[in-house]
A and B are shown apart, each in its own frame.
Chain A
Amino acid sequence: MKRQLPLMLVFLLGAFMIIQYFVPAQASLDAYEFILDWMIIIGIFAMALGIWSLMRVSWHKIKRRSHDWQYAALTLAGLFIMVLFGFEPIGGGLKSYLWLQFYEFVMVPVLATIFSLLAFFMASAAYRAFRARSLLAAVLLGSAMVLMFRVLPLGPLSDPINELAGWILVVPNLAAKRAILIGVGLGMVATSLKVILGIERSYLGRD
């Protein structure tokens, strides 16, 4: 019962959505939109569980005075302050000054900086590929070089490199992406089918 009912729900809703795709009638579109709204609303309750987990883990660290527990306290402080700012009666909500400042001067700089770390990580990853000394790594690196050098002023070499780069993007790139996409499409269909038929049910846990 504990697993049967969810499996039945999965099957019924899954089958409904497959059929829905083939039915263009208004009732079908309405049902589809309703279900999308459902998923969004259910999802926000999951967010509450997530925040609960974050608070729980942080609190355990603080309570046990485990290593670096002070930082867990900082996380909680950040969380509570931001929630207060975002709660209209107290902090003024999503358009309030404090909320926007926290967004602009805490979230944005950190976000942009972490993203920009990628520039360094790409360099070290390229070096890693260089050291791998395998034929496939060399192929990968060679094609990466062509694409990287296309923007450099290399005099007479510029034109052929640009042509080659453009060709790689249009020809082999297209072939590989298409092969992957066909495989992915089939794999998705197979996995969806396994889920709907209840063959794949590890996500449901145990009784």
Chain B
Amino acid sequence: MRKLALICVVMVLAFLPPPLLGEVDSALLQDSVTVDLPEPPAPPGNVTATDNPNDNGRAIRVTWELSADDTTGMKNVIGYRINRAEARDAADSLWTEASDILPSGTTEFIHSGDGEEDGPDYFAKNYDFYYRVHALTADTFSVSAVVGPVQAKDNWYNTGVTFVLLFVALFIILTVTFVRIARKGKELYIRPLAGIEAVDEAIGRATEMGKPTLYILGLGSAADIATIASFAILSRVAKKVAEYQTPLLVPCYEPFVMTVAQDTVRAAYMDAGRPDDYDEDSVYFVTSSQFAYVAGVMGTMIREKPATNFYLGMFHAESLLLAETGAMIGSIQIAGTDQIAQLPFFVVACDYTLIGEELYAASVYLSREPVLLGTIKAQDWAKAVVVGTILAGLLARLLVDLDFIKTVFEVSV
């Protein structure tokens, strides 16, 4: 009962404005609410602040050693907080909070912002900053020594991707080497690819039946690699079509792709010596809406009944809609995409399917130009390097538990 009364009194007192509080008997207050000031934890040691590497100069990396009372000693540190100021001896009010409370056990914080000068997260680059770290307990804290000055700087090389650079270099060297070898006239073998060997036969069939050949470049943009590979194939297909004098239909989804396809097909007709046979309306735009495009192409298919359909490029859900419609009207179908999710549908509904990398290689197969054959050889060597590396890496791991090779491929960005 007395306890309850005491609590009530304290609560009432707590709500009184300070001047009134002054008149209360100070002895009472001291007895009931004041406790001994808690002892602050050991401050974090060895604080460092450095420019955060591999960035655009908008971040500083702060590290420290755990307070002696974090997990050891008094074990009462609940976290850390980073403060930043523009002068070493700045008054407490000029130190700003650079972080929220970081959980105990943390020894690193990257203080970052952006370049928007009026924004809340502005972080000045090439400007001196000072940092200090607070170790916090439930009711008090300690402060580390101040470190600085430190500046955030633009970095001109990302050291985290050095191995990517090495692979780019390796690949360029391989390509240039094999292109040179190929230029010298050395015969380079490439294995047969069923889908490509069927191209001639398929266009021939269209000629015999007097039906058009349909070429779909997919939904990719002109810049997608699958589309670029498809342009190269289109160029060879169009040349054959021009030679055989069968109609060609190239409905396009992407306007930019359409313009490139028009140039490609026109050039192919010129190469075939039949520039006058090129019909400007044969390469046309349908719409940039996925399913409207599909509806349009399905309609074209069922009306024109093309004898041969090519689906080469980047495809999404429309792959099966197109390929099944083509299968239903009895066309010979050659498909190829690098979209793993769509490959199953092409494999099921088409006569030939170029899987992933085969699509990129297909244009080389059709042209048989030695220079391009050289690039295929370079790709194969890169693959051999991969196979070798995987085997060596696994062996190293199995025998000596060596993880070095694995870390090479774990690129940090």
Contacts and interface: CB of A to CB of B under 8 A. Distances in A.
A192 B344 contact: no
A50 interface: yes
A144 B343 CA distance: 14
Interface in B345-365: 345, 347-349, 355-357, 359-361, 363
A47 to B, nearest CB: 5
Interface stretch (A21-29, A94-102, A156-164): A21-29
A125 B346 CA distance: 10
A56 B382 CA distance: 47
A125 B259 contact: no
Interface of A: 18, 21-29, 39, 43, 46-51, 53-54, 56-57, 60, 68, 107, 110-111, 114-115, 117-118, 121-122, 124-126, 128-129, 137, 140, 144, 177, 180-184, 186-195, 197, 199-200, 202-206
Contacts of A129: 348
Contact of B175 (A46, A126, A193, A204): A193
Interface in B81-136: 115, 125
Contacts of B229: 187, 191
B264 A186 contact: no
Given A50-B255, A111-B291, A190-B375, 17 more contacts: A23-B157, A26-B125, A29-B56, A46-B255, A47-B288, A50-B254, A50-B285, A53-B255, A110-B295, A125-B327, A137-B348, A140-B344, A183-B357, A187-B229, A200-B228, A200-B232, A203-B231
Contact of B372 (A187, A188, A199): A199
A191 B228 contact: yes
Interface in B21-59: 54-58
Given A183-B383, A202-B264, A57 B281 contact: yes
A54 B256 contact: no
B284 A125 contact: no
A195 B228 contact: yes
Question: What 3 pairs across the A-B complex have the smallest Cβ distances?
Answer: A50-B255, A205-B263, A183-B357
Interface of B: 54-58, 115, 125, 154-158, 161, 164-165, 168, 171-172, 175, 179, 221-223, 225, 228-229, 231-232, 234-235, 252, 254-256, 258-260, 263-264, 266-267, 270-271, 280-281, 284-292, 294-295, 303, 317, 320-321, 323-324, 327-328, 338, 340, 343-345, 347-349, 355-357, 359-361, 363, 371-372, 375-376, 378-379, 382-383, 386
Contact of B256 (A46, A194, A202, A206): A46
Contacts of B320: 118, 121-122, 125
Q: Which of A21, A27, A128, A200 has the most CB of B within 10 A?
A: A200
Contact of B168 (A18, A27, A48, A121): A18
B267 A25 contact: no
Given A46-B256, A200-B363, A190 B340 contact: no
Contacts of A128: 327, 348-349
Contacts of A110: 291-292, 295
B266 A205 contact: yes
A54 B286 contact: yes
16 contacts: A23-B156, A23-B157, A26-B125, A26-B154, A49-B255, A50-B258, A51-B255, A128-B349, A180-B340, A182-B383, A182-B386, A190-B175, A199-B371, A202-B234, A202-B235, A206-B270
B231 to A, nearest CB: 4
A125 B255 CA distance: 31
Contact of B267 (A68, A137, A197, A206): A206
Given A118-B320, A191-B229, A25 B356 contact: no
A60 B263 contact: no
B264 A203 contact: yes
A121 to B, nearest CB: 4
B267 A22 contact: no
B348 to A, nearest CB: 5
Contact of A60 (B222, B281, B360): B281
Given A25-B156, A118-B321, A126-B348, A203 B357 contact: no
Nearest to B270: A206
Given A43-B256, A187-B356, A125 B154 contact: no
A22 to B, nearest CB: 5
A180 B344 CA distance: 13
A156 to B, nearest CB: 29
A23 B355 CA distance: 34
B90 to A, nearest CB: 27
Contact of A26 (B115, B172, B280): B115
A50 B338 contact: no
Contacts of A197: 175
Nearest to A55: B285
B324 A125 contact: yes
A203 B265 CA distance: 9
Contact of A189 (B171, B232, B235): B171
B255 A22 contact: no
Contact of A186 (B157, B343, B357, B372): B357
A203 B256 contact: no
A186 B379 contact: yes
Contacts of A26: 56-58, 115, 125, 154
Contacts of B225: 187-188, 191-192
